[in-house]
Structure 1
């Protein structure tokens, strides 16, 4: 197979993976008020692990600021199922905007596994542009601890 065909096939697979994650995240959106103090489901996230499993999460916003971002909610589901290595992440809002993780989530994702900095994060739905977590969090302070 030619190098061009290999690149095309890889790009097609990546596109299909991100499309699948986007659809699953979007289908998880369910904006609602849980109580006068808590709302949920205005942002949803889908993560793909190195084992090929997809975990979903929605944001939980609280009046006491102890809520949870959609990414961390998806990670909680992943950890509950015994995994920690993420290869791809999609985050979408109820307004159909593609979002990148907030600073707290970037740090959280980075600390889970030494290779999570290489995960691809969807940045644009129009052309399926991605960015790595390493690009969003350059010169991360904890790399030395993973490397001994």
Structure 2
């Protein structure tokens, strides 16, 4: 799968998802990831009160985990126009799900990616 194809998969899930409160939103960001086994999983963000929402990457990772996979080859998040780099929480989640994800290609644009290792140089490690 190419980066463009993965970006297209992420954009397919971007949209307006009606929530009960007009101040809340979902789906303004979509994410898609490709696993080491070649499967694609997508997710959307949810923005609600009290900080209890989550990023699109978290949603895609949850879908991956439901299918008993942990290794991510590449991942991208986007709105309808722009690629959105993952926040620190998303980066840390990818690492803590599977340390092999340090090799994950994280797309920052159609043409540019960095590995998770490059984006997460001072990651959390358990104390010894």
TM-score normalized by the length of structure 1: 0.80
Structure having the higher Rg = 1
Deviation of 1:139 after TM superposition, in Å, equals: 3.2
- Looking at structure 2, the residues matched to 100 and 44 of structure 1 have their Cα atoms a distance apart, in angstroms, of 12
Equivalent runs, 1:1-148 vs 2, <5 Å: 16-36=1-21, 38-94=24-80, 96-125=81-110, 128-142=111-125
Decide whether the 8 Å contact of 2:72 with 2:104 is kept in 1: yes
Deviation of 1:90 after TM superposition, in Å, equals: 0.8
Unaligned runs of 5+ in 1: 1-15
- Looking at structure 2, the residues matched to 74 and 117 of structure 1 have their Cα atoms a distance apart, in angstroms, of 17
Matched length: 127
> 1:56-83: per-residue Cα shift (whole Å, max 9, x none)?
0000111121001000000010111111
Deviation of 1:122 after TM superposition, in Å, equals: 0.9
* Structure holding more helix per residue: 1
Deviation of 1:35 after TM superposition, in Å, equals: 1.6
> 1:106-136: per-residue Cα shift (whole Å, max 9, x none)?
11111011210110011112xx111111111
- Looking at structure 1, the residues matched to 18 and 108 of structure 2 have their Cα atoms a distance apart, in angstroms, of 28
- Looking at structure 1, the residues matched to 36 and 85 of structure 2 have their Cα atoms a distance apart, in angstroms, of 20
Q: Which residue number corresponds to residue 4 of structure 1?
A: none
Decide whether the 8 Å contact of 2:92 with 2:124 is kept in 1: no
Task: Extract structure 1 runs of 4+ deviating beyond 4 A.
Answer: none
TM-score normalized by the length of structure 2: 0.91
